[in-house]
Amino acid sequence: MAIVNRAEGRLYFTPLVGFLLLFLGFPAIVNLVYSVSTVNFETLRSPTITGFGNYLSVLGDREFWRSVSFSMRFGIVTALAECLIGLFLAIFLAPLLARRSVLMAPLMLPLMVAPAMVGLMYRLVLHEFAGPVPYYLFEWFGDSPAFLDVNNAFRTLVVVEVLQWTPFAFLLFYMAYVAIPLDVREAAALDGATSFKALWWIELPLMLPTLTIAFFIRFIDGFRVFDNVYALTGSGAGGSTTSLSIYIYHAFFKQGAIGKAVAASVLLFLASLVVLCVLNWLAGLRRR
Amino acid sequence: MLNGLRWIVYAIAVLAMNFPVIVTLVTSFKSARELSTNAGLWINQPTLENYFRVLSDTSRFNIYIYLANSAAAALIGTGLAILLAFPAAYAIARSEAGRRILLPVVVNLRAVPLIIFAIPLYMMYQWLGLLDTQLGLGLILTIVNVPLALVILVNAISDVPAELDEAAKVDGASSLQVMLMIIRPVIRPALVTTFIFGFITAWNEFLFGLMLTTSRAVPMTVGSSFFFAASGGGVQWGTASAVMILGALPPALLGLLMYRQISGSMMAGAVKG
């Protein structure tokens, strides 16, 4: 006998499903309808369906492609850097952490601070008069770069994001690393594998699924970045730090271009579906 | 020798990753006078005046309101997420239903940029009168929290032997009774973890706070940025720092107390993703 029968199961799902339909399903339909309509703040309730004009105007907008390019580069660069540094820290620090697990806490602290808050904090850190980084650079080298101007803003934001989220990659890798069974390691040692060979041929392949997943999670988070970028530079630095999320936000709240914002949202949704399909396909391969 | 190197790397990593927090903490203890001459990491004359000013002078920006809004919205967003996810998780763990569609869809939600839904939600909120309310913000935070809550709870319930349920059923308990009186106490640690994790996530959320609130329901993440709005004489860095420390404190303390549980659930969330 099943513990939860069919009717009961349906009952237990209903609140969750209803909530999701109301807060995500309904907005998704509104998105689709508005994206093919002519609509502004006066005609919100009665949009006129006019075809794919919104998509065309988004796809023809140089700012849109600029923001896609920013998000893409930002997602790839930060995810790569976070995974590489995180992997190094996880393996190199493992002997230290194995004996004193309380050492984990300071490494995890960045994950507990709101990214928006971190963005604001860097306004202070990098401020030319009140910030310690320019202060010490002036003290030691007599000069300090403009961290948030057009040329440097991208690099600065990458560093900000990487420093905050490397702990996430590190944490996943560390847990995957210590989960490798002891007898696997002993067998490798018995066969005369040096520790580097064991790492390259045995431990890293065993950690590969975690590496892949961490990369994708971090890529998605980097691609849709909003909080810390918005708090630190806005779309500032000549619009050079407009991520796709910030583009949508601006189109709606600053320009009132509802159709354009909604069409961009649908495109972002399609893009994230593609990434998710790849990710699930990879997960499926692993299971087989 | 190698071990010494490990300690050095560890220290550098901790300092670099926590650098913004350290700088903000240091700045929050400096007087405005000291800040104008000393922007370094050393404090010559530590003072509490910034905290005092933030907590006593509420004429321009009232930090208590922001803190209360964050707390209320985060509590709604976490509590409701658990209320919705727990029965669904029980049904998924104890029957075949929901495994094929509901679970994967909800789990994948975590990876969908929620800004996609922001514009229709904004219009819906305007229509329902939920703009700039704690409840409205809390409902959105529920969406943010549901995916991970469901994953953690399904895992936790699946780990409970089904014989426990069956024994109770033989004794005449309904499945509702089993869920509430047998399963709930057994998976209490998972419920606590879900709550802590959800509370931190909700407290730290920014995008929806920015879009859906303007004055009455502004959360701490958005309220902090108000202190950076230069108002004659530029930003009061000491005050702004004190505000950020106070705003970052609740999730940071929770996180440091519960870091073991949290690292476990991050792993669960990632692997099932």
What mean pLDDT comes out for the span B149-170? 89
Q: Answer yes or no: do B221 and A117 touch at CB < 8 A.
A: yes
The number of CA neighbours under 13 Å toward the Cβ of B193 is 23
Q: Which two tokens stand for residue B35?
A: 């800040």
B228 in contact with chain A, both atoms CB, cutoff 8 A: yes
In sequence order, the β-bridge partners of residue A38 are: A48
3-state SS class at B29: coil
Q: Domains of chain A (ranges plus CATH)?
A: 69-240 (1.10.3720.10)
Q: Which two tokens stand for residue B8?
A: 């050095």
Chain B residues with CB-CB distance to A130 below 8 A: 27, 35, 39, 235, 237
- Give the integer Cα–Cα distance in Å for A31 and B106: 19
The C-alpha of A125 sits at a distance from chain B's nearest C-alpha, in angstroms, of 6
Could you say which of B9, B83, B90 has the minimum Cβ distance to residue A4? B90
Q: What is the mean pLDDT of chain A?
A: 88
How many structural domains are present in chain B?
Answer: 1
pLDDT tens for residues A193-252? 788 888 888 889 889 988 988 998 899 899 999 999 999 987 665 678 899 999 999 998
Confidence of residue B269 (pLDDT cuts 50, 70, 90): low
Find tokens 């303390």 and name the residue.
B253
Q: Answer yes or no: do A114 and B266 touch at CB < 8 A.
A: no
Note whether residue B215 is domain-resident. yes
What mean pLDDT comes out for the span B238-259? 92
* DSSP run (H or E) holding B17: helix B2-17
Could you say which of B17, B87, B237 has the minimum Cβ distance to residue A130? B237
Could you say which of A95, A130, A224 has the minimum Cβ distance to residue B6? A95
CATH code of residue B147: 1.10.3720.10
- Cβ–Cβ < 8 Å for B237, A127: yes
Question: Residue A87 pLDDT > 80, yes or no?
Answer: yes
Any idea which of A3-7, A183-187, B83-87 has the lowest mean pLDDT?
A3-7
3-state SS class at B179: helix
| Owning domain of residue B150 | 63-159+187-272
Chain A residues with CB-CB distance to B101 below 8 A: none
Max CA pair span of chain B? 76
Q: Which two tokens stand for residue A184?
A: 């696997």
Helix pair angle (A104-112, B2-17), 10° resolution: 20
Q: Answer yes or no: do B266 and A168 touch at CB < 8 A.
A: yes
| Percent of chain B clearing pLDDT 90 (strictly above) | 56
**HEC-encoded secondary structure of chain A:** CCCCCHHHHHHHHHHHHHHHHHHHHHHHHHHHHHHCEECCCCCCCCCEECCCHHHHHHHCCHHHHHHHHHHHHHHHHHHHHHHHHHHHHHHHHHHHHHHCHHHHHHHHHHHHCCHHHHHHHHHHHCCCCCCHHHHHHHHHHCCCCCCCCCCCHHHHHHHHHHHHHHHHHHHHHHHHHHCCCHHHHHHHHHCCCCHHHHHHHHHHHHHHHHHHHHHHHHHHHHHCCCHHHHHHHCCHHHHCCCCHHHHHHHHHHCCCCHHHHHHHHHHHHHHHHHHHHHHHHHHHHHHC
- Give the integer Cα–Cα distance in Å for A187 and A29: 56
- Give the integer Cα–Cα distance in Å for B181 and A54: 54
For position A264, what pLDDT does the model report? 93
Note whether residue B201 is domain-resident. yes
- Cβ–Cβ < 8 Å for B139, A20: no
Q: Which is nearest to A257 in space by CA: A29, A32, A34?
A: A34
Q: Which is nearest to B208 in space by CA: B112, B106, B139?
A: B139
Q: Answer yes or no: do A117 and B85 touch at CB < 8 A.
A: no
Q: Answer yes or no: do B87 and A13 touch at CB < 8 A.
A: yes
Note whether residue B236 is domain-resident. yes
- Cβ–Cβ < 8 Å for A74, A225: yes
Note whether residue B28 is domain-resident. no
* DSSP run (H or E) holding B146: helix B134-159
> Chain B residue with minimal CA distance to A220?
B111
End-to-end Cα distance, chain A:
30
Q: What's CA B74's distance to the chain center, in Å?
A: 7
pTM for the model: 0.92
Note whether residue B32 is domain-resident. no
Note whether residue B250 is domain-resident. yes
- Cβ–Cβ < 8 Å for A118, A228: yes
- Give the integer Cα–Cα distance in Å for B19 and B130: 38
Q: What's CA B146's distance to the chain center, in Å?
A: 13
Q: Which two tokens stand for residue B98?
A: 């929901």
What mean pLDDT comes out for the span B160-176? 86
For position B218, what pLDDT does the model report? 95
pLDDT tens for residues A272-282? 888 888 877 87
Chain A residues with CB-CB distance to B23 below 8 A: 121, 124-125, 131-132
Chain B residues with CB-CB distance to A269 below 8 A: 112, 116
Question: Residue B101 pLDDT > 60, yes or no?
Answer: yes
Query: Which residue would you say has higher pLDDT here, A156 or B234?
Result: A156
- Cβ–Cβ < 8 Å for B228, B240: yes
Note whether residue B49 is domain-resident. no
Note whether residue B74 is domain-resident. yes
